[in-house]
Structure 1
């Protein structure tokens, strides 16, 4: 086997690899060979699937018709596959991703062919059974091919498919699994744009690399950046400011570099979907529960003559205040406007009807009007009072990430509640558990998850921490 087919051996050091003395063989040609092999395999699978489907249904005559159907579907399939990344770097790294993209291309191309055949009235010339069998066989054979090609890709490109190099030039230590490692001082790699010999030495080390990362002091970042720009590779310079700010991206504007440090957790379509669900659910719930709401309000007023509702300032979306409604469960003289003191078991401030509605979560039902008004959502992080404490600290003093939970509207119920994190926060860990669940919810929203949380809430409406 020739030298190009064999990647230069490397010596592992921990999670990284020690780079060889010279440049490493580039993988671009081998990746192209892998793409071409997969492409040819896909063509064979599509044509073979339709040939097999026609033969099974109508014998040799059907096989000929199936081959014609395959030739009709194939150009559309390849066009869609090329545009939906079915032949991309990620498909070499993950056969599952490639199989999924190939199946999507197959479904789109099949639908397109059926659509065109219907409107041109040519579908009567082909066997629908043969076409269906061909699609079914192709849907099985394409993923099978991608799985079998793993060995070929590994043989041609190695385990990582790309060559990554880390240059240690005196900056923060970094260890990337599978990446080659170079010590700039030992290799005498100096980013000096005025020294052609130094640039040649660096260029030989970079040759064959797909991505290079350099860790250096701030004063040498600009010099390395210039060298990377002229090396025709993807080059990165470590800047821990990005990690400190948890930056999401970067851009240039007005002659300045700008770091993107935050975006809303939901896009416009997701917000519209969530709001539509909130309005529909809260409206129907208010209508259905109106007799219960009226009876509870009358019982509260009848017990001590005070108002039925307790209105408290809570922290809502964007860290702004809103007025949250609850059925009053405490005596009027004992109301805690700022929420400085958590309710304890057998709390003397709680009325008899108040103890019942708190235990059954009925006291929270007036927040359906907050949802309808747009201050709250059915599902989201629960809104807290300003003076709420965990142990002897205010909530935001326990963990500064506390303010991140207000990127969405507060909810009538939430992920933390269905996991049992509710009631008094006697210890800092009580808040930490809730905060972790709230941040998890923000990072993985979907309408199906909201529906699942609503269903799960039914199981925790009555709970032993409600007092």
Structure 2
């Protein structure tokens, strides 16, 4: 679809068609798209089954690939090869094509799954049962059939093979571990994929099986983002900062001079805050308070008409420009563009520290803190005078962590523009 869209856009461009014409944009975008799609898991089967997620990831991959390609072309002074109208037409055609393809794939997979039932064969002595067994499970009691896991009887092996021939999954359930292992070994040698039913592990909710040397281990928890997702999020942060640098750097230089002229003291305020996995980091802001009245720990939250704030500080806070230096924290990998906002160690609500108010508070630090976040675009800004103020913010942060996607980050960034100036920003 990408190649076809590039050919169509190239053919429809206003330049005269010649033998030397070729879809140049596709040569750059296609490999970059494949890398982005691989990183996002766009073509993983669980993703392809869901129309919205599948289309969303493919479009995000396309936009990221096109943006990176145009950025590279600009760096090598090759933007002349890509006409503006051709690029826009290419993006439109490719997006429509990808939407059609991914919608068709998801619809086909759903039809196939609706027409197919998974047959599970539960083989064992039935001393261990699970209440969550599917209705389509076929039970085989080896005691009733007088079966023993031995390879010396071809008649038994034939009967066993016929009994599990139509199974999509074979699950073993025995009271005695030694007997269960003997059956697992036999079925494995006969070429059957076999699983062991372990109800005792249900409370742990294992995610995967790994090995420590030759000893198996169960993975019972992971971070909120896979390695591929972390790489994509980090690449997005770096690309945004680098693209914004030509505009932001001069603005920060001017603001630095103005802060120094407005009141004695340094231009920047550095405060220890809680970051990823509850590690401390130094969060950078433009100084908005008088040096002699600054609160290094954050025990005293800012109030409306706070006498500690300088004249310029009021403007910086009302426009959120005091947060601009945190782009350096993003560049250094201590923060992300989008994520839970980092809090000062002494911040409190109704006289209680945040983690004393909300039991799940520490969970919000499983991802990098952000310049903006879901809580901010919902209007949860300013001082936390009541317990519900911090409860609402933490709930939004945890919701963001559980529902993260590249598209969600993009939406939050765009919606942040609407709340840069806020009644609670003081």
TM-score after normalising by structure 2: 0.58
Q: Tell whether 2:347 aligns with 1:398.
A: no
> Counterpart in 2 of 1:430?
392
> Counterpart in 2 of 1:164?
120
> Counterpart in 2 of 1:180?
137
Post-superposition offset of 1:251: 2.7
Partner of residue 440 from structure 1, selected from 402, 406, 411: 402
> Counterpart in 2 of 1:276?
239
> Counterpart in 2 of 1:254?
213
Which structure has the larger Rg over C-alpha atoms? 1
Post-superposition offset of 1:459: 0.4
Could you tell me whether the CA contact under 8 Å between 1:282 and 1:369 is conserved in 2? Answer: no
Post-superposition offset of 1:209: 1.1
> Counterpart in 1 of 2:253?
290
> Counterpart in 1 of 2:322?
363
Could you tell me whether the CA contact under 8 Å between 1:396 and 1:403 is conserved in 2? Answer: no
CA RMSD in angstroms, aligned pairs only: 4.9
Partner of residue 210 from structure 1, selected from 165, 168, 189: 168
> Counterpart in 2 of 1:328?
287
Partner of residue 226 from structure 2, selected from 251, 255, 265: 265
Could you tell me whether the CA contact under 8 Å between 1:283 and 1:372 is conserved in 2? Answer: no
Distance 2:394 2:173 in 1: 35
Structure 1, unaligned runs of 5 or more = 1-89, 101-138
Structure 2, unaligned runs of 5 or more = 1-44, 56-98
Q: Tell whether 2:296 aligns with 1:337.
A: yes
Change (3 A) 1:369 1:190: farther
Post-superposition offset of 1:313: 0.8
TM-score after normalising by structure 1: 0.53
Distance 1:350 1:326 in 2: 14
Larger mean Cα displacement after TM superposition, 196-205 or 343-352? 196-205
Give CA deviations for 1:134-190 in whole Å, capped at 9, x if unaligned: xxxxx999x999979998x69xxx8334313456945573425554264969x8589
Change (3 A) 1:148 1:357: closer
Larger mean Cα displacement after TM superposition, 251-260 or 346-355? 346-355
Could you tell me whether the CA contact under 8 Å between 1:314 and 1:321 is conserved in 2? Answer: yes
Could you tell me whether the CA contact under 8 Å between 1:381 and 1:406 is conserved in 2? Answer: no
Secondary structure of residue in 2 paired with 1:422: coil
Q: How does 1:59-458 map to 2 (within 5 A)?
A: 159-165=115-121, 169=126, 171=128, 173-175=130-132, 179-180=136-137, 182=139, 188=144, 193=149, 206-214=164-172, 219=177, 222=181, 225-226=184-185, 228-230=187-189, 232-239=191-198, 247-260=206-219, 261-262=221-222, 265-267=226-228, 270=232, 271-282=234-245, 284-299=247-262, 301=263, 305-345=264-304, 349-350=308-309, 353-389=312-348, 392-395=352-355, 398-400=358-360, 402-403=362-363, 405-408=365-368, 410-425=369-384, 426-427=387-388, 429-440=391-402, 443-444=404-405, 446=406, 449-458=408-417
Secondary structure of residue in 2 paired with 1:463: coil
Equivalent pairs, count: 323
Distance 2:182 2:132 in 1: 22
Change (3 A) 1:385 1:161: same
Secondary structure of residue in 2 paired with 1:384: coil
Post-superposition offset of 1:200: 9.0
